[in-house]
Structure 1
Amino acid sequence: MSLSPHQKTAGWLVGVVVVMGAASFAAVPFYDWFCRVTGFGGTTAVASEAPAEVLDRTIRVRFDASREAGMPWEFRPLQREMEVRIGETGLAFYEAYNPTDRTVAGTASYNVTPDAAGGYFAKIACFCFTEQVLAPGERVEMPVSFYVDPAIVKDRDGRYVRQITLSYTFHQTELPEEQAALAARPAGIDVN
């Protein structure tokens, strides 16, 4: 049994739609993986510890903070910049303050510029790895522990990097269930 030209065309079109649907479904995780592996777009690496090798060469790290529109917190770096040796662990702090009369949750997205440094800037510990919840009037200092991988000096573009900017943007998120339940409970009612 032979297919008519219209049936062949319809079959090809269905195949194209299926392939395009699968590609679009896989695009987000693939892009995320690609950025983490290559440092593309300033995506940083995550590490469990600093490298054993520390170079004599230093690099200046600048710290930047911003908030998504509608995020009520105040958010800022406690230091504007620091000089670290390549391979050395650096420790910086950011401060967040919730000036509202309600509990607010947030998460931080981040990137590094220039893009050539993204794959060589590694965070060991960071407030951005978890959701942050601040009570009304609460002020917290949040650390980020990082290093610049010594391999940057061997990279074709990375070896020219003398300054890196680490930028965070805080986004408001839904309160975790237990926090939302506490916030919804009328004042003066004790559940214990």
Structure 2
Amino acid sequence: MNRNTTTVAKLLGVVVFMGGLAWASVPLYDWFCRVTGFGGTTSVAEAGSDEILDRTITIKFDASLERGMPWEFRPVQREMEIRIGETGLAFYEAYNPTDQVVAGQASYNVAPYAAGGYFTKIDCFCFEYQVLQPGERVTMPVSFFVDPEIVNDADGKHAQHITLSYTFHVTDVEEDTALLAPSESGGVN
């Protein structure tokens, strides 16, 4: 191989390597955040905690919309006090005031960030796309608990409250008639 061919091969290898890193960066970052709670990312569990402490913590609820999202979206209650380890159930309300079917996906985070890894969701509307028909209003639940291990964390043990924030984004959902058709119960599909 001559020198020019070797240089081109090395540059092509660098481009392919960098492209691979760019492609893998989003899933790797998502995995990192879920494992560590970095950036306020929450944990997910199949069931509630086995341990409930006498110490309480206030959970605050926040809701916002991405620019261009036509829905109205709000927490049903602004805050609740629960014991650490106790399963909490909160509700958010969404309304589609338009004359079109609108699909959305909620992104979420927790503040303070030190509490992210200890805030554990059992079930959440944010795990799935939400599709609202024209004029449809729905109440969406989120069940959660604060892992008792938070009291052993150097930063987390000082948290007096945790804020759970959701932002709804417009989602392009394929024109799948089963997904976009109204459900028999009148709620979200």
Specify if TM > 0.5: yes
Moved more, 170-179 or 115-124: 170-179
The residue type paired with residue 140 of structure 1 is: V
Structure 1, 167-176 or 127-136: larger mean CA deviation: 167-176
Q: Distance between the aligned counterparts of 2:181 and 2:142, measured in 1? A: 29
SS in 2 for 1:76: strand
1:51 shift after superposition: 1.3
The aligned residue for residue 82 of structure 2 is 84
Q: Percent identity?
A: 66
Q: Please report the TM-score for the alignment, with normalisation by the length of structure 1.
A: 0.87
Structure 1 pair 180–102 and aligned structure 2 pair: CA distance change class (3 A): farther
Partner-residue secondary structure (3-state), 1:48: coil
| 1:178 equivalent in structure 2 | 177
Bigger-Rg structure (1/2): 1
How many angstroms does 1:19 deviate by? Answer: 2.0
For residues 79-123 of structure 1, give each alpha carbon's deviation from its aligned partner in whole angstroms, at most 9, with x where no partner exists. Answer: 000111110000001111111122221111111111111111011
Q: Which residue of 1 aligns with 2:158?
A: 160
With the length of structure 2 as denominator, give the TM-score of the two structures. 0.88
2:106 and 2:167 in contact (8 A); partners too: yes
**After TM superposition, what 4+ stretches of structure 1 lie above 6 angstroms from structure 2?**
none
Alignment of 1:1-192 (within 5 A): 5-175=3-173, 176-178=175-177
Alpha carbons 2:131, 2:180 under 8 Å: kept: no
How many residue pairs are counted as aligned between the two chains?
181
- Structure 2 distance, partners of 1:148, 1:24, is 34
Q: Which runs of 5+ in 1 are unaligned?
A: 184-192
Secondary structure of 1:55's match? coil
Q: Which runs of 5+ in 2 are unaligned?
A: 183-189
- Give the C-alpha shift of residue 7 in structure 1: 4.6
Whole-Å separation in 2 of the counterparts to 1:48 and 1:24: 32
User: For the residues of structure 2 that align with 1:134 and 1:156, how far apart are their CA atoms?
Assistant: 43
1:179 Cα shift? Answer: 5.9
CA distance in 1, matches of 2:132, 2:140: 12
For 1:8 and 1:107, locate their aligned partners in 2 and report how far apart those are by CA, in whole Å. Answer: 47
Alignment partner of 1:159: what SS? helix
